[in-house]
Amino acid sequence: MGAMQLVQGQREELLQALCCGGSAEGLESVIDLLLAWDLLTWEDYQGLCAPVQTLSSRARGLLDLVCIKGESACALLLAACSRVFPEARKVVLSFGGCKPPQEEQEPHPATATQALRCHRSLLVRHLRGGITAALKALLESGVFTAYDCDEVQLLLYTPSQQARRLLDLVQSKGESAAAILLQHTQTSEENPTTPENEEHPAECLLYQKKLKSSLSAQSHFVSTYGGTGNLSLDDIYTEGLLEVAQGSGEAQQPLGLEDILGHAGTLNEEADTVLVSGEAGSGKSTLLQRLLQLWSRDTALQDYLFLFSFSCRRLSAEEREVSLRDLLFMHCCWPDRGQDLIFQYILDHPHKVLFTFDGVDEFRLGFSDERRHCCPTQCAPVSVLLFNLLQGSLMKGVRKVATSRPVAVTPVLKRYLRKEVSLQGFSTEGIDFFVRKHHSDPAVANRVLESLQSNMALFGLCHIPVFCWIVSQCSRELLGGGTSPQTITDIYLMVLQHFFQCRSSRRLSPGLGWVQESVGAVIRLGRVALGGLRSSCFMFSEVELQRCGVTEEDICTGFLIHTKDHSSSECKHYEFLHVTMQCFFAALFIVLNDNIGRSTIQDLFYPQYWQDSVLAKVCLGPCLSAGSQKRDPDGGAQEAERPNLEITATFVSGLLSQRHRELLLQACPAPTLDRKCTQVVRALSKGMQKHFKSIPQPIEGEKKSMHAMPEFIWLIKCIYEMQEISVAKDALARLEVEHLKLTYCNIGPVECTALAYVLQHLRTSVGLQLDYNFVGDVGVEQLLPCLEICHSIYLRNNNISDEGIRKLIDKGIQCENLQKIALFNNKLTDACTKHFAELLKRKQHFLSLRLGNNYITAVGAEQLADGLRSNRSLQFLGLWGNKVRDRGAKALAQALQESPSLVWLSLVDNGIGSDGACALAELIRSSKTLEDMWLTKNCITREGVEYLLQALEKNTSVKSIWLRGNELSPEEVEEVTQRESRVVF
Ligand SMILES: Nc1ncnc2c1ncn2[C@@H]1O[C@H](COP(=O)(O)OP(=O)(O)OP(=O)(O)O)[C@@H](O)[C@H]1O
């Protein structure tokens, strides 16, 4: 196919790749090359860069222009794209082998301006790290004016764009300007400045000292331990599981704290914001706190001279318009002297500064990029400053680390992210470590851990640090011999009892009587909690609390803690120990308050009704100040509230469970509880039906499949909290699908427990697709109860190890329906293959096993072969990206020779050479069913291919053997392709 046909045929894909992620970098890098290769004239270039155009219209313009210029121009465009696009973007495109022009290898520009053009890509890369120095050189030599410098350094440009502006301006000024720039780049290459050796003014160092001591003090205690003990962050900090957020296409590697700012997982080099996302209570704030602490002690992030940390909760209480300078100095730390100098230093050295923003999801207004604000000294509403900082319009080059719950990470925000890392709470070892740190008495720690091990649902919950904290905190109740908690509501009821009994100034009655005696305080705190959630308000002034009737004694229960660093007013402020605790009190208020009407629960379960809801008026009206109720006219606040309202609804479902009936009857009459319970059950059922109705009818020949929306998991969790089998059965009664797709849904062990509880009641078997979640070994164990109903289970990329597989297979062997398992990209080693062998021996109707991108070697392949030898049904076997090598390939090939069913075999990228190919040739020779064999990216030579070719002569079933990326010369590839069309390169 000609280059022009390729460009025209892939127009849509090329446009997407050129504008990927909304960044102009891809397109501009391609243009750099096309300029260097003389495909684009200066006029063409200026036409494509006209400032009024959008990114996509520029990309379209480029494609049109290239097509007009003809076949060879299209070939150069493809060559440029192939050079610029990252591998992940290239896989969907074909470049037809187009190559750059020959002379590009050794360009000999005759003049300095020509040199700027020929080496444009290289110069952009070089200059983007040293714009200031280059401008200084040009200014000193009189080539540039101060105006030129300002034009280049417009804050709106990314560093690469600034470099391109600079090159364009120099180019327009002629030969001597170009010569000076080239001279400068040459000297700066020979004598790179080492930023480490930079001298900082004394004022800056003094300010840094003050900043460090203030951060060190702030980060010493974890907020939840503020009033309940004297454990410091050092005592209790436990490493969480941190990974590059999924979707980056890279193999998942665990990250350390400092990797957050490292290169791993970078998607957009031009952006400055790294986002740490994680569910409620997964430890995001604590992680940031640890980063600040380490910086303040000179043990991490020492490349940064200043670190400014912000809580979005505090920022959103700021009602005045402020400048960036106020934000830094007034909200973080005031410099005792040299304010102007320090601020100028910050502006001049953005790479020396780090900002952290905790809880972007708590900001009242959802992230928006509508209002641009670039000026560091001009005042603006805090939201505008924050959003522009995150985008990089303000203080470009300053690195930012922000945290957020995943739901608030909107596509608009994603466009500005350098990378996203996800925090998944504690690992199993982390739970052990945390519990032992929490309990100084090892005997108690052992008993708590034993109790967790004996209750897998609770153990699953403890992967979320905030639940682990509560469980550890309430060890007395946990070990007291009552029923062990199963649900999140159980855990929070436990902490409610614990706090009321331990911290109340009165001695409360033993037994259930504590509820009756505490109900007044619960309602008062609940009113504040719900009012706050409704308006994204998480801090309450003393006056507001008093207006809601909260007493000193209520505060002493310990659920509210003093907000220490709230600087905007003199008045004392309080917040709930954790936002999930605020949700729990809001739920208690909804359940226990007799005056709550029907619409309140409706509002809670049907989010579309939230605006103008009765709930807001009932709870808030009289209590919170106007400022706290400030709302976004476009409904942005509604989005911000959703996650917490969903948690509240989950608690409401749990509280209305029959299991807690006896407890709640102490505080609320039975008819009220009955009425609310019926209403919640109806709402859950309706919510589910809404999902099922949205399932499209299958296209002929395809399975009926449902791709769950995020709300589906939430509804499932609500049903689980109720712990009523009839509700679960009823909710699924009308679900008729063959395939349930739950990929990228942030499913961890907690969600697995709920899913299994509900899905086991499906009436017909399904394929359960859970790829790209955080299931882990504990999640696998939680899923077992619903394995019976699965004909296929897909668990790609889920951090599962051999231990999880052992349990999965033990159960899977007994499950009649199960026919397919996919485990691509987990942590499987040779220790798991004997279990698969057993499964293959025992299940003679098993169809598909996919184990790609794990750590299986020849030893594992041999074990697997043992099972394959006696299996009569397997059709698909995928081992892509393991390391079975020749020995493993031989074992597999021999075992499969007798297979009456094998259709598809993948051994891509397995280090297989010609010996392995020889054995696989025997398989081809004897198989009557095999259609596709994938051997791409191995080390098979022409000799090995010869075995395969000869075997193919004897085989009629095989349709293709894929051999790209083996050790053949282009001539050999050509010759083999001519000889056998079923061999594909
Ligand atoms: N790494 C950790 N080590 C020890 N304890 C932790 C850790 N992470 C969290 N915790 C415990 O869990 C509690 C809640 O964690 P944190 O507030 O950091 O969660 P979060 O993800 O910021 O929650 P949210 O999204 O609801 O604001 C902490 O107060 C602390 O008790």
- For residue range 232-277, list pLDDT tens digits in order: 888 889 999 888 886 544 555 678 888 898 888 888 888 999 999 9
Q: What share of the chain is helix, strand, coil (3-state, %, to 5)?
A: 55, 10, 35
CB of 920 closer than 6 angstroms to any ligand 1 atom: no
Q: Using alpha carbons, select from 982, 906, 909, 904 the residue that is nearest to residue 945.
A: 982
pLDDT band at 942 (very low <50, low <70, confident <90, very high): very high
The pLDDT of residue 790 is 96
pLDDT value at 622 more than 50: no
Q: Extract the tokens encoding 844.
A: 């003679």
Q: Using alpha carbons, select from 156, 134, 154 the residue that is nearest to residue 144.
A: 134
Beta carbons within 8 Å of 852's beta carbon, 6+ residues apart: 824, 825, 878, 879, 880, 881, 882, 906, 908
Cα of 578 from ligand 1 centre, angstroms: 8
The residue contributing the CA closest to ligand 1 atom 5 is: 237
The pLDDT of residue 528 is 93
The residue contributing the CA closest to ligand 1 atom 18 is: 283
Cα of 278 from ligand 1 centre, angstroms: 10
How far is CA 568 from each of CA 314, 315, 571, 747, rounded to the nearest angstrom? Answer: 8, 9, 9, 39
The pLDDT of residue 972 is 94
CB of 469 closer than 6 angstroms to any ligand 1 atom: yes
pLDDT value at 637 more than 60: no
CB of 405 closer than 6 angstroms to any ligand 1 atom: yes
Note whether 533 and 582 are within 8 A (CB). Answer: yes
Q: Using alpha carbons, select from 17, 25, 18 the residue that is nearest to residue 392.
A: 25
Ligand 1 atom closest to the CA of 437, numbered from 1: 4
Beta carbons within 8 Å of 560's beta carbon, 6+ residues apart: 525, 540, 545, 550, 554, 574, 575, 576, 577
Ligand 1 atom closest to the CA of 580, numbered from 1: 26
Cα of 365 from ligand 1 centre, angstroms: 23
CB of 359 closer than 6 angstroms to any ligand 1 atom: yes
Cα of 466 from ligand 1 centre, angstroms: 5
How many residues are there in the chain? 985
Note whether 436 and 464 are within 8 A (CB). Answer: no
Q: 767 - beta bridge partners?
A: 739, 792
Residue 354's φ and ψ, nearest 5 degrees, are -130, 135
Q: 705 - beta bridge partners?
A: 739
- How large a percentage of the chain has pLDDT more than 70? 89
Note whether 585 and 576 are within 8 A (CB). Answer: yes
Q: Write the pLDDT tens digit of every residue in 557-584.
A: 888 988 866 555 567 889 998 999 999 9
What single-letter DSSP state applies at residue 541? E
CA–CA separation, 973 and 687 (whole Å): 57
pLDDT band at 640 (very low <50, low <70, confident <90, very high): low
CB of 643 closer than 6 angstroms to any ligand 1 atom: no
Note whether 293 and 219 are within 8 A (CB). Answer: yes
Cα of 648 from ligand 1 centre, angstroms: 18
Ligand 1 atom closest to the CA of 225, numbered from 1: 31
Strands (E), 593-729: 705-707
Cα of 623 from ligand 1 centre, angstroms: 29
pLDDT band at 152 (very low <50, low <70, confident <90, very high): confident
The pTM for the full model equals 0.74
- List the single range of 389-403, 475-489, 845-859 with lowest mean pLDDT: 475-489
CB of 404 closer than 6 angstroms to any ligand 1 atom: no
CA–CA separation, 877 and 863 (whole Å): 14
Cα of 525 from ligand 1 centre, angstroms: 22
Cα of 800 from ligand 1 centre, angstroms: 24
User: What value does the mean pLDDT take over residues 428-433?
Assistant: 91
CA–CA separation, 918 and 80 (whole Å): 40
pLDDT value at 617 more than 70: no
pLDDT band at 495 (very low <50, low <70, confident <90, very high): confident
CB of 231 closer than 6 angstroms to any ligand 1 atom: no
Q: Which range scores top for mean pLDDT: 28-37, 223-232, 451-460, 940-949? A: 940-949
Q: Find the helix or strand (DSSP H, E) in which 285 lies.
A: helix 284-296
Cα of 431 from ligand 1 centre, angstroms: 13
Cα of 285 from ligand 1 centre, angstroms: 6
- Cα-based angle 419, 421, 424 (whole degrees, multiple of 5): 165
Secondary structure tally for the chain: helices H, strands E: 47, 20
- Cα-based angle 649, 655, 659 (whole degrees, multiple of 5): 140
Cα of 515 from ligand 1 centre, angstroms: 28
Cα of 468 from ligand 1 centre, angstroms: 10
Q: Which range scores top for mean pLDDT: 143-157, 612-626, 705-719, 959-973? A: 959-973
pLDDT value at 891 more than 70: yes
Cα of 222 from ligand 1 centre, angstroms: 8
CA–CA separation, 39 and 28 (whole Å): 14
CA–CA separation, 884 and 894 (whole Å): 14
Cα of 452 from ligand 1 centre, angstroms: 20
Q: Using alpha carbons, select from 237, 282, 525, 250 the residue that is nearest to residue 407.
A: 282
3-state secondary structure of 576: strand
The pLDDT of residue 511 is 63
- List the single range of 178-182, 261-265, 279-283 with lowest mean pLDDT: 261-265
CB of 486 closer than 6 angstroms to any ligand 1 atom: no
Q: Extract the tokens encoding 237.
A: 């900090």
Q: Extract the tokens encoding 593.
A: 């308050």
Q: Write the pLDDT tens digit of every residue in 945-968.
A: 999 999 999 999 999 999 999 999
CA–CA separation, 918 and 902 (whole Å): 19
Contacts 24+ apart (CB under 8 A), 654-657: 654/487, 654/488, 654/489, 654/490, 654/587, 654/721, 654/722, 655/489, 655/493, 655/587, 655/588, 655/591, 656/591, 656/680, 656/722, 657/487, 657/489, 657/721, 657/722, 657/723, 657/724
DSSP character string of 246-257: TTS-SPP-B--G
CA–CA separation, 535 and 173 (whole Å): 57
CA–CA separation, 185 and 200 (whole Å): 25
pLDDT value at 624 more than 60: no
The pLDDT of residue 366 is 67
Strands (E), 373-518: 399-404, 417-423
The pLDDT of residue 290 is 93
Beta carbons within 8 Å of 947's beta carbon, 6+ residues apart: 914, 917, 918, 920, 921
Cα of 553 from ligand 1 centre, angstroms: 26
- Positive/negative CA dihedral, 924, 930, 931, 937: negative
Q: 78 - beta bridge partners?
A: none
pLDDT band at 192 (very low <50, low <70, confident <90, very high): low
Ligand 1 atom closest to the CA of 282, numbered from 1: 21
- Cα-based angle 841, 845, 849 (whole degrees, multiple of 5): 70
Counting Cα atoms < 13 Å in the Cβ hemisphere of 590 gives: 36
B/e letters for 599-611, b = 16+ CB within 10 Å, e = fewer, are ebbbbbbebeebe
CB of 221 closer than 6 angstroms to any ligand 1 atom: no
3-state secondary structure of 784: helix
Q: Which range scores top for mean pLDDT: 84-93, 375-384, 804-813? A: 804-813
Distance, CA of 375 to chain centre: 31
The pLDDT of residue 632 is 39
Q: Which of 228, 237, 255, 285 to mutate to test the pocket of ligand 1 (most atoms within 8 A of CB)?
A: 285
CB of 430 closer than 6 angstroms to any ligand 1 atom: no
Cα of 425 from ligand 1 centre, angstroms: 9
pLDDT band at 509 (very low <50, low <70, confident <90, very high): low
User: What value does the mean pLDDT take over residues 733-737?
Assistant: 82
pLDDT value at 52 more than 70: no
CA–CA separation, 70 and 169 (whole Å): 30
Strands (E), 642-774: 705-707, 739-741, 766-769
pLDDT value at 105 more than 60: no
Q: Using alpha carbons, select from 277, 356, 366, 354 the residue that is nearest to residue 316.
A: 366
Of 594 and 920, the structure prediction assigns the larger pLDDT to 920
CA–CA separation, 212 and 916 (whole Å): 60
CA–CA separation, 58 and 931 (whole Å): 45
Q: Extract the tokens encoding 222.
A: 């974890």
The pLDDT of residue 512 is 62
pLDDT band at 630 (very low <50, low <70, confident <90, very high): very low
Q: Which of 292, 578, 750 to mutate to test the pocket of ligand 1 (most atoms within 8 A of CB)?
A: 578
3-state secondary structure of 303: coil
CA–CA separation, 469 and 689 (whole Å): 36
pLDDT value at 658 more than 80: yes
Residue type, 829: T
Q: State the average pLDDT for the chain.
A: 86
Q: Which of 363, 469, 583, 647 to mutate to test the pocket of ligand 1 (most atoms within 8 A of CB)?
A: 469
CB of 472 closer than 6 angstroms to any ligand 1 atom: no
The residue contributing the CA closest to ligand 1 atom 7 is: 283
Residue 635's φ and ψ, nearest 5 degrees, are 85, 10
Note whether 324 and 355 are within 8 A (CB). Answer: no
- Cα-based angle 178, 179, 185 (whole degrees, multiple of 5): 90
Model ipTM? 0.99
Ligand 1 atom closest to the CA of 290, numbered from 1: 1
Residue 849's φ and ψ, nearest 5 degrees, are -130, 120
CB of 224 closer than 6 angstroms to any ligand 1 atom: yes
Note whether 405 and 277 are within 8 A (CB). Answer: yes
The residue contributing the CA closest to ligand 1 atom 26 is: 280
